[in-house]
Chains A and B, each alone.
Chain A
Amino acid sequence: MDFSYFSTHQSAVLAALLRHIEITGLTLGIGLAIAIPLGTLIARVRVLYVPILGILGTVYTIPSFAFIAFLIGFVGIGLHSALFALVSYTQFILVRNTAVGLREVDPVILDAASGMGMNGWQRLARVEFPLALPVILGGLRVATVATIAIATVAAIDDAGGLGQLLFDGYNNGQTSEIEVGAVALVILAIVADILLRLIDRLLPASRAAANR
Chain B
Amino acid sequence: MPGISLDNVVKTFGTDDGSAPAVRGVSLAIEEGEFVVLLGPSGCGKTTLLRMINRLIEPTSGQIFIGDREVRDFPVTDLRRHIGYVIQQVGLFPHMTVAQNVATVPRLLGWKKQRTRERTRELLELVALPPGEYLDRYPRQLSGGQQQRVGIARAMAADPQIMLMDEPFGAIDAITRSDLQQELLRIQRKVGKTVVFVTHDVEEALLLADRIAVMRTGELVQYDTPLALLSHPVDDFVRELLGSQDVLRRLSLLEITALMEQESGMAGTTQVPAGTSAREALSLLLGTGADRATVVDPQGRPLGTLTLDRILREARAAPPAPG
One of A112, A203, A204 near B87 (C-beta < 8 A): A112
Decide if A211 touches B141 in the complex (CB within 8 Å): yes
Interface flag for A2 (CB, 8 Å):
no
Interface centre among B77, B82, B139, by most A CB within 10 Å? Answer: B77
* Bound Cα distance A113, B85 (Å): 10
Looking at the assembled complex, report how far the CB atom of A89 sits from the nearest CB atom of chain B, in whole angstroms: 30
A111 touches B87 (CB 8 A): yes
Instruction: Report the separation of the CA atoms of residues A113 and B105 in the bound assembly, to the nearest whole angstrom.
Output: 10
Q: Which residues of B contact A207 (CB under 8 A)?
A: 138
A108 to B105, CA, bound (A): 17
Q: Which residues of A contact B140 (CB under 8 A)?
A: 208-209, 211-212
Let me know if B56 and A115 touch, CB within 8 A: yes
A204 near B95: Cβ-Cβ < 8 Å: yes
Residues of B within 8 A of A131 (CB): 93-95
Q: Determine whether B78 belongs to the interface, using a CB cutoff of 8 Å to chain A.
A: yes
Query: Is the CB of A47 closer than 8 A to any CB of chain B?
Result: no
Residue A63 at the chain B interface, CB threshold 8 Å = no
Could you mark each residue 82-111 of chain B with 1 if its beta carbon is under 8 Å from any beta carbon of chain A, else 0?
100101011111111000000011001000
A116→B139 contact, CB < 8 A: no
The B-contacting residues of A in range 34-66, CB under 8 angstroms, are none
Which B residues lie within 8 Å of A109 (CB)?
A: 91-94
Q: Is B94 a contact of A205 with CB atoms below 8 Å?
A: yes
Q: Which residues of B contact A204 (CB under 8 A)?
A: 95-96
Which of chain A's residues has its CB closest to B108's CB? A117
B77 A127 Cβ-Cβ under 8 A: no
Interchain CB contact under 8 A, B94 and A119: no
- The answer, yes or no, to whether A202 is at the interface (CB within 8 Å) is no
Distance in angstroms from A179 CB to nearest chain B CB is 45
Q: Could you say which residues of chain A place their CB within 8 Å of the CB of B56? A: 111, 114-115
Q: How far is the CA of A127 from the CA of B104 in the complex (A)?
A: 11
- Establish whether residues B80 and A115, one from each chain, have CB atoms under 8 Å apart when the complex forms: yes
List of B residues within 8 angstroms of A116 by Cβ: 80-81, 85, 104-105, 108, 154-155
A14 in contact (CB, < 8 A): no
By CB atoms of chain A within 10 A, which of B92, B94, B108, B141 has the most?
Answer: B94
Which of chain B's residues have a CB closer than 8 A to the CB of A174? none
Tell yes or no: B79 within 8 A of A by CB.
Answer: yes
Q: Which residue of B76, B87, B93, B155 is within 8 Å of A127 (Cβ)?
A: B93
Report the bound CA distance from A72 to B89 in whole Å: 56
| With A115-B54, A116-B104, A117-B105: A209-B77 Cβ-Cβ less than 8 Å | no
Of A112, A116, A211, A212, chain B has the most CB atoms within 10 Å of the CB of: A116
Query: What residues of B have a CB within 8 angstroms of the CB of A114 in the complex?
Result: 56, 80
CA distance A205 to B94 in the complex (A): 7
Q: Determine whether the beta carbon of B95 is less than 8 Å from that of A205.
A: yes
Say how far B157's CB is from chain A's closest CB, in angstroms. 9
How far apart sit A131 and B76, CA to CA, in the bound complex (Å)?
25
A122 and B82 CA atoms in complex are apart in Å by: 17
Q: How far is the CA of A127 from the CA of B95 in the complex (A)?
A: 8
B56, B93, B139 interface centre (most CB from chain A within 10 Å): B93
- Which A residues between 76 and 129 are near B, CB-CB below 8 angstroms? 106, 108-109, 111-119, 122, 126-127
Interchain nearest-CB distance for A95 vs B (Å): 22
Question: What is the CA–CA distance of A209 and B76 in the complex, to the nearest angstrom?
Answer: 32
Contact check, B85 vs A115: say whether CB atoms are below 8 A apart. yes
- The docked-state distance in angstroms from the alpha carbon of A209 to that of B137 is 12
With A and B bound together, what is the CA distance between A113 and B104 in angstroms?
A: 9
How far does the alpha carbon of A67 sit from the alpha carbon of B138 in the complex, in Å?
47
Contact B93 A211 (CB under 8 A): no
Residues of A within 8 A of B104 (CB): 116, 118
Cα distance A130–B96 when bound, in Å?
A: 10
Question: Which of the residues B79, B87, B89, B141 comes within 8 Å of A117, measured between beta carbons?
Answer: B79
Q: How far is the CA of A13 from the CA of B300 in the complex (A)?
A: 81
Complex CA–CA separation, A107 to B54 (angstroms): 17
Judge whether A112 and B78 touch: CB under 8 Å: no
Residue of B nearest to A118 (CB): B108
How far apart are the CA atoms of A112 and B90 in the complex, in Å? Answer: 8
* Best-buried of A117, A127, A209 by chain B (most CB within 10 Å): A117
Using a CB–CB cutoff of 8 Å, the interface residues on chain A facing chain B are 106, 108-109, 111-119, 122, 126-127, 130-131, 203-205, 207-209, 211-212
- Other A-B contacts than A115-B54, A211-B140, 18 sampled, CB-CB below 8 A, are A111-B56, A111-B87, A112-B85, A112-B90, A112-B93, A114-B56, A115-B85, A115-B164, A116-B85, A117-B76, A117-B77, A117-B79, A117-B80, A119-B77, A126-B93, A131-B94, A208-B94, A208-B95
Some 5 contacts from A to B, beta carbons below 8 A apart, are A112-B87, A117-B79, A117-B80, A205-B94, A205-B95
